[in-house]
Amino acid sequence: MTRRHRLIIWGPGDMGGRALRTALESPRFEVVGVKVFSPHKHGRDIGELAGLPPVGVTATTSKAEILALEADCVVHTPTTPALVQGADTDVLELLESGKNVVSAASYHNPAMPTWLSETRSALEVLRTVARMRVTGNALGPQLPKALAALKAVMRVVDSTPVGFARPTLDKLAGPLVDRAIPRRASGERLQAACLRGGVSLHGTGLHPGLMVEQLLLRVAGLLDEVREVRFLEVGDLSAAPDGMWGGLASLGFGMPLSAVDSDHAIALMQHFYFDAVLANVGHALFGVDADQVRVERHVYPIPARVRVEAGGSVIEPGSVGAIHMSYRGYIGDRLFMTNAECWHVGAGNAHLGPDHPRSLAGGHVITLDGSPARIELRNELDDESSEGDWSAVTDISVKAMLDVIPELCAAPPGVATPDLSPRFRLETV
């Protein structure tokens, strides 16, 4: 029998909790630790946390205890706000402690810089933060005050005489920025941590992960030439987990239309996911490095038509009922990919264009323009049977993470990205 891989679950929320239960019920894994963030979960048996009989392992809020454990891999499922609260430091320490990490939160292509990468100057980050619009609890309960302070710092910077050296200002602003909203670790630093620990890091899930990096790119291999690709996701968030992104108000739903635009927190946070997708496609189809890919975002709200109560929020007619987000990837001036997300709350508030899935419940459309053909793939939920259940999204993402663990643990040290090379096995029938 193949040996069982020893796992740590980091953050047993909606996705991490599903991963914990699945791993405990699988003969492939042994869960040796769980990192929790709520004091009331500390010391509880991890089986009981997953709704199963006790297994004799207790959860802990102590990162030091987790780092001291012997484990093959950490299943990393933090909240999205954690990505601007220092989650990279946790991952770097996990890697350096000799543990492989598979994550649903970012790391799909760490080489791709975003607006918050540590390769950006503190002043660049400040300018972006100064424009950021925040609603609800999008960045966590502590950050709104910190962001207000950073915006005040930016006003001081803008009023500073031109003769004052910008490098000096940048040096002074750096510690302030990194205390309030830590810049994300570069691909080089993550790679170095992998090498020091002799382990690997991989980001995967439904999207990013399977839909583009596996499905779209494999279909692209059928074409002699690919000119442009498009990926569109439509989803009804009325049944999404209450804590996702900090709640619907954090995404902008139920807010005045003026509160949501391309500088809303949701628009900026999505760069951590979709910039990686665009970089992966740019490299796989056009042979360019991440720093040659330029990303433009376009985000706009759509007014609700009907009143909906969902996830502890009330969406009134005229407030934000749907949000359309497009992330466009360019190589030079050439548009090579558009990644679009169109989310709504309640079927009555769906915003469906002519190229969207024909289902109010949601779905995906993949389009590849090339030679000798144009290919379009659609998956659409059944409006009559669907209740907007997001459990399938969670289950697919969890399966993607758990399935990759044996190969990740056996891989050479470093950041691992999807491999589309042909693989064959010997037929034994």
- Residue-wise pLDDT tens digits, 175-184: 888 888 899 9
Whether the link from the prior residue into 413 is cis, omega within 30° of 0, is no
Q: Which CATH architecture has domain 5-111+186-204+397-415?
A: 3-Layer(aba) Sandwich (3.40)
User: What one-character DSSP code corresponds to residue 215?
Assistant: I
Of 3-17, 41-55, 148-162, 308-322, give the lowest mean pLDDT range. 148-162
Q: What percent of the chain has pLDDT over 70?
A: 91
pLDDT class of 14 with cuts at 50, 70, 90: confident
User: What one-character DSSP code corresponds to residue 220?
Assistant: H
pLDDT for position 213: 94
Identity of the amino acid at 153: V
Other Cβ atoms less than 10 A from the Cβ of 310: the count is 19
User: What one-character DSSP code corresponds to residue 115?
Assistant: T
pLDDT (tens digit, 9 = 90+) per residue, 99-155?
Answer: 999 999 889 999 999 999 999 988 888 888 888 888 877 666 666 666 677 777 777
Nearest-angstrom CA–CA distance, 137 and 245: 8
Q: Tell me if 5-111+186-204+397-415 shares its fold with 206-389.
A: no
Q: How many CA atoms lie within 13 A of 268 on its CB side?
A: 24
Residue 164 has pLDDT above 60, yes or no: no
pTM: 0.91
pLDDT for position 247: 81
> What are the residue ranges spanned by the domains of the chain?
5-111+186-204+397-415, 122-180, 206-389
Nearest-angstrom CA–CA distance, 38 and 15: 16
Q: How far is CA 57 from CA 100, 357, 380, in A?
A: 21, 45, 41
Q: Which CATH entry fits the domain spanning 206-389: 3.30.519, 3.40.1130, 3.30.70, 3.30.360?
A: 3.30.360
Q: What is the DSSP string of 346-373?
A: SGGG----TTS-S-SSEEEEEEEEEES-
pLDDT (tens digit, 9 = 90+) per residue, 374-383?
Answer: 999 998 876 6
The token pair at 20 is 């914990």
Mean per-residue pLDDT, 20-40: 96
Of 49-58, 338-347, 380-389, give the lowest mean pLDDT range. 380-389
